[in-house]
Amino acid sequence: MSVVWTQCSIYQDVPGDAVRAGHDQDGSPIFVGRAALNETLTLPAKIIPDKQAAYVSHNGSELSVTHFEILRGTGFTWVQGSYGNVPSGAVPGGNSSSGELLYIGRAHHEDSLTLGKIHRSHGCMYIPFDGAELSFQEYEVLVKQQ
């Protein structure tokens, strides 16, 4: 599966073919990103250009990042998932510090449709939201169509 990630920051415009993940509570669009926290940890990131903001969830917290990669292209769809399961074609968006692949998901929460990380060994998806890391057993998985 071939996907295109492009380096970006909260101070740059989002590419026209960036993959949209959902919307924040005020309707601001959220895009699919990923950000490296260190040499061994890369996490799915929710990018909110209207607020010049990008966030990841880690160790129970929502963390702000300024530099990230943004997913670009077409041929993506969202598929129902639950309890850490992901379908064939699921798009990886990073890895845990132990090397486990983390997949891109999204869930509805408080009038938002927010991007997060599916952590298979934890049996759930986590989203960064209002300073915290929230878990969901039901979510949608980003899939690259063949």
Q: Is there a contact between 136 and 124 (Cβ–Cβ < 8 Å)?
A: yes
CA separation for the pair 76, 70 (Å, rounded): 14
Q: Is there a contact between 33 and 44 (Cβ–Cβ < 8 Å)?
A: yes
- The whole-angstrom distance between residue 80's C-alpha and the CA centroid of its chain comes to 15
User: pLDDT digits over 94-122, tens only?
Assistant: 999 899 999 999 999 999 999 999 999 99
Give the total number of structural domains in the chain.
1
In the numeric block, which tokens belong to residue 6? 């492009």
Would you tell me how many other CB atoms lie within 10 Å of the CB of residue 98?
8
DSSP category for residue 11: T
User: pLDDT digits over 74-95, tens only?
Assistant: 999 999 999 999 999 999 999 9
pTM of the model: 0.95
Task: Give the structural domain span for 52.
Answer: 4-144
Q: Please check the confidence at residue 1 and state whether its pLDDT lies above 70.
A: no
